[in-house]
Structure formats: structure tokens, C-alpha cells
Amino acid sequence: MKPGVWQRLDVIARGLFPAFSVFVLLLINLLPISVPLLSTASPALALMAVFYWSVNRPDLLTAVAAFLLGLLQDLLMGLPLGVSPLVLLLVQTGSASQGRFFHNKPFSVMWWGFALVAIPALLIQWLLSSALIGALLPIKATMISYVLTAVLFPIVAWVLARAQNSLLRYV
């Protein structure tokens, strides 16, 4: 039986969900939240989602998508242009190639994996941003950001896993 137009549209829409979820997390990152700590260093939510999807569904969050989402992040946050696309691209490619390692393993393994991947990712971001701005940025904020990113990963991963189970089971 040939799938109808609506069915195909449905599959395409579901296929776009991973990229869309990264976009939503980007916007959540932008929310003005009145917690003193979060205004100096925020968790890298987009990085978490890009890692999650590259490990679990690399076919749905491609390198090009990661690149474009990084570009959007730079434009929206006023960061030096080109740094986030590079970082997210490297994370996507690296995680997608190692994705098989995490399959059928407990969640804690993926958590450790992410905590390891986030170190070079944030370091590259810090180094390149510093180089492009022309002054050494305070490393303390990056370290706080790293701790927040590593600690909050299970929450984001849990939400994304729920969405994956309900939306992407047959896609």
C-alpha cells in the first residue's frame, strides 16, 4: 500500500522534531530568569540536545542541521560568529560516529560520555571566542557553565527520550 500525502507529511514533520527540539532549547536558554547564577553562566542546552540526538538518531539531526542551529545560536546570543556552528558540528560528527557504543548501555554511561564530550566542546568555544574577541574571557564562567551543563543533562535527556518514544518510534 502506498502511503498517502498526509502520512508522508506526518513522517516529515516527525523527522524534523530533533532539530526543532534544539531550537526550542535555544529559546529556553534565552529566557530571562531571575536567578543570579544563571545570568553569569548558563547551561549549554543546545549542546545537550545535539549530543542526545547525534547518539540516538544521527539520521534525523544531520551535520548540516547542527551547523545551522549553531549559527542561529551565535546570531541570537551575540556571540562571535562561526564558533557555535563549529562546536556543534564537531560534537554531532564525533558523537554520531561513536553512537553505537552507547546503544544498549545504562543511561549513566551516556551521561559520562556527555560529561566527557562537553569538556572539549566548551573549551573550544572559550578558546575561539577569546581569540576572536581579542581578550582572554574569564574561565570561571565557562567552568560554572560546564558544571551546570553536566548536571542538568539527565533532565533534558529524559524529556527528549520521552519525546523520542512517543513521536519517533516508527519514523
Partner 1 sequence: MAQHGGPQQRIFSPLRTALHRFAFILLIFTAFGLMLLGKADTVLIERIRAASADLVSPVMNVVSRPAASINELTDKIYNLAHLYEENERLRRENQQLLAWQQAARNLSHENVRLRELAHYTNPPALHLVTARVIADMGGAYAHSVMISAGSRDGVAKGQAVISDEGLVGRVAEAGYQASRVLLITDINSRVPVIVENSRDRAFLSGDNTNRPLLTFLTADAAVAPGDRILTSGHGGAFPPGIPIGVVSSVSENAVRVAPLFRRHQLEYLRVADYGLQGILSEKRIRDSQAPVNTNATQLSPEIPAGVGVVPAVPAEPAPSVQKPPAGELP
Name the site residues for partner 1 (rule: CB under 8 A). Answer: 27, 29-36, 38-42, 63-64, 67, 71-72, 74-83, 85-86, 89, 93, 125-126, 128-129, 132-133, 135, 137-138, 141-142, 144-145
- Which CB atom, from 16 or from 144, has the smaller least distance to partner 1? 144
Q: Is 137 exposed, middle or buried (0-12, 13-18, 19+ CB in 10 A)?
A: middle
Give which of 92, 67, 70, 66 is closest to 80, Cα–Cα: 70
One-letter amino acid of 41? A
Q: Smallest distance from the beta carbon of 108 to partner 1, in angstroms?
A: 27
Q: Smallest distance from the beta carbon of 14 to partner 1, in angstroms?
A: 14
- Which CB atom, from 32 or from 106, has the smaller least distance to partner 1? 32
Q: Smallest distance from the beta carbon of 40 to partner 1, in angstroms?
A: 7
Q: Give the C-alpha separation, 87 to 89, whole Å.
A: 5
CB 165 within 8 A of CB 17: no
